[in-house]
Amino acid sequence: MIAEVLIYVPSIANFRVNRLNDRLAAANTAALVLDAAPSGMVPDSLAKQILESIGARAVAIKMGQQRRLLAIADMPPAIDHDIDMREMTAWQAIIGAFETMLENGNEVMRIIGPAPHGGQFIEVVVDEAPLRKSMFRFSVNLLLVSLGIAIMTAALVYLALHYLFVRPMRRMTANLVAFHANPESVARIAVPSQRKDEIGVAERELADMQRDLVSMLHQKSHLAALGLAVSKINHDLRNLLASSQLLSDQLSSVPDPRVQRFAPKLMRSLERAIAFCQSTLSYGKAQEAPPDRRMIAIEPIVNEVRESAGLAADASIVWINAVERGLTVDADPDQLFRVLLNLVRNAAQALESQDVGEASPKQIRVAGRREGTVAIIQVSDTGPGVPAKAREHLFEAFQGSSRDGGTGLGLAIAAELVRAHGGDLNLVEGTIGATFRIAIPDRPVALHDHRNERARA
């Protein structure tokens, strides 16, 4: 509508100006004919025919100080409007056009313009009704043309919006509805187009999101099935371990020194296994209990990890204990044992996977130190290291395994247990083989409670 106004206003004003100029041009031609007559005498019948041909009532011209009436027919008693085309401005043309269209009578107007052959001006008297009628006809034609252009433009805009936006959005909506009905089906994943605009980006992101969601749902289904299987296995395994515990109790009464040496360790291992099975059956999943933290010495746990991993009697792998003497950590001893055992077993498996011909020595090094209130433990090996593919999901269950047959649960369990202590488990970059760094901070102690404990002591 704004475009129509901007187009129509100057168009109707220009149409009126052109019509008035046409009347002046016809009057100039008539003036030449009338002035060429012998002695300036033209029969009245011929004068009327000339005036009718140019649509005028009278034509006059001013030459010098003389004003000459060239022809006249049915001269009205009064002139309603004087229009001087010699000094017509754009604003006057617009105002005059709307004044002409808003009037409803048959007014008479006198048009003044430049005269031929050195005359000062020429005047022509015409009726306003024919001009108004032609202006209305021009307005209707312009309106029809504008409506046609608007309809065609609207159709093109509609088709453009339909093919560029509506159809892709309908396709995405239909895909979302179908995907919601069966989110685990790979066939329901959207197929993105090759568009480079925002719609194309939305299609590709939707496809990636659906692909990740399908993978996650498959993984969750796998975990649910695995959890059910583990619960069933643990139910029977707990009974078997209970029987083994009874047998280990009988071993404690055997007087053999070697039996007396290994029986307590065997009993502690069985107790840990039974407790873990019981927690799995209680929660329906491997949900870890909150750590029972206390200040403990690290060195006995490191020695027990070495014996449990079978490295005490393995001469092919060199064991290096670099733990500071008397180092303590504020942690749950059983959970810390599980963390170190998982890391040491991974290191041993990585060393065993090496080729026999490799010259580098097979070593596992456990180091420990204290940095202020944070206990730092590092487990490193001289194996092949962690592959780049496994680094992306190193501490995620079923994602971070780098060897055939591995489940990727060891590092996930270790990281979960360390986080439960408020610490971090990270892979140290730029080392030979693989080095894992455990950082466990001490718990803050309330000064008032500490003083009360000392007072009670």
pLDDT at 54: 77
Read off the tokens for 62: 């001013």
Closest CA to 27 of 72, 63, 88, 81: 72
Whole-number Å distance between alpha carbons of 385 and 388: 9
Q: Is the pLDDT of residue 443 over 90?
A: no
Output the furthest CA–CA distance in the chain (Å, rounded).
164
Q: What is the pLDDT, as a whole number, of residue 283?
A: 45
Antiparallel, parallel or unpaired: β 363-371 and 121-127 = unpaired
Q: State the pLDDT confidence band at 389, using cuts at 50, 70 and 90.
A: confident
Say how far apart CA 326 and CA 299 lie, in whole Å: 8
Confidence label for 368 from pLDDT (cuts 50, 70 and 90): very high
- Integer Rg of the chain from CA: 52
Please give the average per-residue pLDDT across 14-26, as a whole number: 88
User: Does the pLDDT of residue 437 top 90, yes or no?
Assistant: yes
Question: For residue 367, which phi and psi values (nearest 5 degrees)?
Answer: -120, 150
Using DSSP, state whether 250 is helix, strand or coil. helix
User: Mind listing the pLDDT tens digit for each residue in 161-220?
Assistant: 998 889 889 988 999 998 888 888 888 888 888 888 888 888 889 899 998 998 888 888
pLDDT higher than threshold 80 for residue 343:
yes
Task: Specify the range with the lowest mean pLDDT, choosing from 30-34, 149-153, 172-176, 316-320.
Answer: 30-34
Mean pLDDT within 43-47: 67
Query: What pLDDT, on a 0 to 100 scale, did the predictor assign at position 100?
Result: 87
For residue 194, give the amino acid letter: Q
The pair phi, psi for residue 122, each rounded to 5°, is -125, 145
Question: For the whole prediction, is pTM greater than 0.75?
Answer: no
Average pLDDT over residues 24-35: 76
* Cα 348–chain centre separation: 45
User: Who has greater pLDDT, 110 or 283?
Assistant: 110
